[in-house]
Structure 1
Amino acid sequence: MASKLKFIVLSVLGFVFFLVPFSIDGERKIIISHIVDFITTHFLEGFLSFTSIVSWIVLIATVVFLFYSSSSNFLNDLFKASPLNVGLRIVGSFLYLMVYYGWFESAALSTFILNPDTGGLMAGEGGLLTTLYITFFVGLLALPLLTHFGVVEFVGILIGPVMEKVFKVPGYSMIDAIASFVGDGTIGILVTDNQYQRGYYNKREAYVIATSFSIVGIAFAAAVAEELGFGAIFPIFYGSIVVVTIILAFITSRLPLKKFPPTYYKGKEPKNAEIPEGKTLFGHAYDSAITQAGQTRIGDVAKEAFKNVVNIYVSFIPVIMAVGTLSLIIAEYTSFFDIISAPLVYIYGLFGYSREVATTMAPASVAGFADMYLPALFITDSPSEASRFFIGVLAFTQLVFMSETGMILVKTKIGMNFWDVAKVFLYRTLLSIPILVVITNVLVAFNVLSF
């Protein structure tokens, strides 16, 4: 009975927390967005001091762990990384502190970083990373409500047969998809790679799953939606991501993919997931969910969630600061993004956007290849709600960004290289745009968005 209550109550709380908007003081948003507003309104100065302390710790510890190894595996895994990630963490933490404290204000080169439209847009009071710090802290602590108490098993098994028919992949791939949607895209990719190596998927199936289902999770989507002004319609924002992702997955599963044949990893025998004899599909899904809930200890889950927060603060946010600031400097002081995205200005003009808005949308459409958060930075000041929504959703449906998921895809055993990842980005961008034009125009027609 306790397991049943744990599954039902905690899962319902998870759905309410992340997906159900509430009106507070006239603002209708999901709970996590209300929490962000409350902290930024009442505790901003103290929270910014906290973020500066975090940046100091990341900067110093990353340097120290270049020469030192701890007896704690957790600390070693946390602070030891690839040379590229170490460099990005150090640069990102330093830049955050530089903006926060206003270091080197009189130096000529510091203008590029301290400009309110570059580093100033990223950090400090009103900085975009402030929202990320809060959202990740709250969101990752609450996320186990959706991931650890039976929802993944229940939905995964129940929808499994649909996955086989619609996407031509095994039914249990739904677990990978849910892990990505409610957790993080990197988790989905790692799960897929592990399952491929164990014989659950062949190479073709692993490619389709890793490049179609491993989307950035709901916590990060909530942060981006809040930044773009869509906290009140977050279910629509996230629902649009899901719709486009499903359509692209359907198409991807039917591509030739000659480089990724249906062969199993190192001769592994394929594994099959079957419903136990005498059980219905729903009964098996429900029993599996109850079993999962019963095996999960709340204390262990809370400890794991806190570790995930720490990992995000150390390994992800400094990278966003480094890549984001550099990209904004390039965008502000050069014509690089404008040049490579010039054809899109004309295309967006045909879709009804003004020249000014189209000029903002075009570079935002390609900037996501460097980091998924960049499109939001590029489009955040656009006066057009429709354009902010369009780019915000596009950033997620593009899937790969080289500061994280792109690099992880290259490192898997599936057999992808940099050019394969670049092709995925280009292909998903080109297919997402017409689909999003339709979705955005429908929302405009129903007065959900304005041009």
Structure 2
Amino acid sequence: MASWLGDGSVGILLTSKQYENKFYTMREAAVIGTTFSAVSITFSLVVIAQVELEHLFLPFYGAICLAGIVAAIIIPRLPPLRNKKDTFIDGTKPSEDAEVTPKGHTTFSWGLDLALQRAGTVTSAKSVFGEGVKNAVDMVFGVLPVVMGLGTVALVIAEYTSVFEILGTPFIPYLELLGVPEAVAASKTMVVGFADMFIHQS
């Protein structure tokens, strides 16, 4: 769920580390990385401020979260996520009783016990701080080059080619059906919007 709290790219990086440390299987990592990686609240506020609709921020972000939850329920049941192997990075399978709640525990109490056990492995504040700094450095040098590279490429394509215009053409009939003004112009921006996240962050 950490992915919901920060930028999607950061969430994906954290999910990748969890997969590499055998906390997630391939399928779990793929599902979390693709359906639970939302753009941060602060960036969403910047975006909605551009169209001067800040007073609608709560319903706007609520709709994003609701759409994300619906997608998280449906998308993992469809290919290609459905076809991902439920194995760890080394090819081993998770224990069959790994998700079983022991007798005498509720899901919440067992989760709390596991959290306390995990917290008990912390040896000092210095180790936590060191791990935090290491993760921050990994994010900076692991995420920023990718974001900047994709953002630059997307910007060049949007400015100097008609790729996004062609990709947006199939949306025109739907936009016209919905009564969207200037459907042709809107269709171009729909596809650019996906790349726009990278362009703004770079």
**Smaller-chain TM-score bracket:** 0.5 to 0.7
Equivalent residue in structure 2 for 1:347, among 132, 150, 174: 174
One-letter amino acid of the structure 2 residue matched with residue 185 of structure 1: G
Q: What's 2:191 paired with?
A: 366
Q: What SS is found at the alignment partner of 1:372?
A: helix
Q: Does residue 1:240 correspond to 2:26, yes or no? A: no
Match of residue 92 from structure 2: 268
After superposition, residues 115-130 of structure 1 pair within 5 angstroms as none
Under a length normalisation based on structure 2, what TM-score does the superposition of the two structures give? 0.68
Structure 1 residues 322 and 267, CA gap change in structure 2 (3 angstroms): closer
Change (3 A) 1:275 1:247: same
Shift of 1:213: 1.3
Cα pair distance change 1:266/1:254, threshold 3 Å: same
Query: Secondary structure at 1:253's aligned position in 2?
Result: helix
Once the 2 structures are TM-superposed, how far is the Cα of residue 353 of structure 1 from its aligned partner?
A: 0.9
Match of 2:33 in 1: 210
Which letter maps to 2:61?
Answer: Y
Counterparts of 1:203 and 1:324 in 2: how far apart (Å)?
29
What's the RMSD between the two structures over aligned residues?
A: 4.0
> Which deviations, in whole Å up to 9, do the C-alpha atoms of 1:215-245 show, x marking residues without a partner?
2222322222222323222221111111111
Larger radius of gyration: 1
What is the aligned partner in structure 1 of residue 165 from structure 2?
338
TM-score normalised by the chain length of structure 1: 0.34
Q: Which amino acid is 1:366 matched to?
A: V
Q: What do residues 24-47 of structure 1 show as CA deviations (whole Å, max 9, x unaligned)?
A: xxxxxxxxxxxxxxxxxxxxxxxx
**What residue identity is the alignment partner of 1:237?**
F
SS of equivalent residue, structure 2 residue 175 = helix
Distance 1:281 1:339, change over 3 A: closer
Assess if the C-alpha contact under 8 Å between 2:28 and 2:86 holds in 1: yes
Deviations 1:273-296 (A, max 9, x none): 56677554445666749x96x987
Distance change (3 Å), C-alpha of 1:226 and 1:311: farther
Letter paired with 1:353: V
Which consecutive residues of structure 2, in runs of 5 or more, have no partner in the other structure?
A: none
Q: 1:189 Cα deviation (Å)?
A: 1.8
Count of residue pairs the alignment pairs up: 185
Distance 2:6 2:151 in 1: 21
Contact 1:180/1:217, CA 8 A, preserved across alignment: no
Gaps of 5+ in 1: 1-176, 378-402, 405-451
Residue identity (%): 32
